[in-house]
Every structure is written in C-alpha cells, then in structure tokens.
Amino acid sequence: MLPQQRLLIELLSMSGDIAVPTDAKDTILWRTLDECSKARFLSIDEINDSMCRISVTALGRMSLK
C-alpha cells in the first residue's frame, strides 16, 4: 500500500463516508481513489451525475492493522 493510499483510508476510517465531485477525475485525489478502489480498499458509488460516495470497505479497514 502506498503512503497516500494509507493516508486516505485512515482519514476515511475516522470521518466516515464522503461525497466527492466527479468533475475532477484528472486529479491526484481521483487517481488515489481509483487505485484504492481497484485494490478493494474503498467502494465508489454514484450518488448522481456530479457526485460519488466514497466508503472504506472491510478489507480497507483490515489493511490498516
């Protein structure tokens, strides 16, 4: 796990789900979200055309231990 992935998962574990705008898919945040999603550490669910909900999965929580 890369440091930025670990940091993102730790922050989400403490804060809970977050909503992220989908119009900035070319950012470092979205690159990290996509990497974590592919590793199944996070789930990304579309709320509407412009927002997604980001949640930590059980595997993501276990990876922090």
Query: What does the DSSP 8-state code read for residue 56?
Result: E
The pLDDT value recorded for residue 24 is: 83
Residues 23, 41: Cα–Cα separation, whole Å: 22
pTM of the model: 0.86
CATH, domain range 3-63? 1.10.10
pLDDT along the chain (65 residues), means of 10: 94 93 90 95 95 96 91
Any idea where the domains of the chain sit in the sequence? Answer: 3-63
**Residue 42 backbone dihedrals phi, psi, to 5 degrees:** -130, 155
